[in-house]
Chain A
Amino acid sequence: MKDECPRGFDQRLISGYIDGELFQQDEQRVRLHLEGCSTCGKLAQELQTLREVTMATKFVVPTDDQWREAPRSAGSRLFRGLGFVLVGIWLAATLAFAGWELATGPAQPLEKLLVFGGGLGIGLLFLSVLLDRIRSARTDRYKGVER
């Protein structure tokens, strides 16, 4: 390799030297060598320049909104919203139709009571879970962490 030290110096120490990671004895050895070896001196200077360039590089960090939204694409969000609306309409229509059929049909009062009572209980349970979720979404400190 064209950059090999003509004196066979261990060039791995040069990286440790520019990072300030060598023990005092090795550091002194590298410093003395660099003063007298143009090949290693040039290598050290170029590695130092590259190190400074990379250390000074900065990157854009997403905004808070991007953190929340980025995992889902715009198309995915649109279809998800549309899907929720359609499922909601379908569920409401189906339940209304079933309730109407049951209320006006030939079922016994006890049967109607069982179905409506059970349905009301399940509905209340769902409502309570929904309220809890809404409250925790408002107050959860870590909502930005887990999606």
Chain B
Amino acid sequence: MGPDISPVGGVEAPAADRPHSKMDDAVAEMLVACRRTAYIAALQLLGNPDDALDLAQEATVRMLRSLPSLDPDRPWHPYLMRVVANLARDLWRRRRHRRAESLETLIEERGFDAVDPHAGPDERAHQGELRRRAAQALATLSGPHREILVLRDYQGLAYAEIAVALGIPRGTVMSRLHKARQLLREAVLHGGRTP
């Protein structure tokens, strides 16, 4: 079996109207989705596949333990991202640095969808180069800026969901995200250095 390519996707609660006998299967499916989503987010935050694997396992176990208290009518993706972000912060604290490894070599080249499917070879090459530079630059950002970019642009959370995941007001989400994007843009498009 070859490597699987990530869909950046949400984690949904099993439908409550499923027959009871199917609930175990539904929970198992949900946990597999959790692990997969947590792995991708952890990889984006930490840049190291081994750390990401450990973190994803731990995050999934925490989700499993939290199942009885989670509201099945609300999306679980923000909650999972909160768990992942907290675990990543713990790891950063333990290692006393926030500089992550570059994601550049971990991006799946073959699975990359070009921004414009009708783009020519030159345009595709340009987009690939931008993507590589963005992955490199992400590793140089501070923890809070990296977190917010991962949650919004890589994980696709809405501002309200990011606010829940990071425990910050919605207005702070927008200003911090804008600052993070400015720094990323400076590094990627203008070759600037990020702090």
Contact = CB atoms under 8 A, between A and B. Distances in A.
**A and B: bona fide binding partners:** yes
B107 to A, nearest CB: 6
Contacts of A141: 24, 27-28
B22 to A, nearest CB: 12
By DSSP majority rule, is chain B's interface helix, strand, loop, or mixed?
A: helix
A67 B133 CA distance: 29
Query: On chain B, which size bracket covers the interface?
Result: 35 or more
A12 B178 contact: yes
Given A55-B156, A59-B43, A145 B106 contact: no
Contacts, number: 133
B130 interface: yes
A50 B114 CA distance: 13
Interface string B110-139: 011111000000000001001100110000
Interface stretch (B73-81, B93-101, B183-191): B183-191
Contacts of A58: 5-7, 107-108, 111-113
A119 interface: no
Interface in A8-61: 11-16, 19, 21, 43, 46-47, 49-61
Contact of B3 (A11, A61, A70): A61
8 contacts: A15-B178, A21-B174, A53-B127, A55-B153, A56-B112, A56-B113, A144-B32, A146-B57
Interface of A: 3, 11-16, 19, 21, 43, 46-47, 49-67, 70-71, 141-142, 144-147
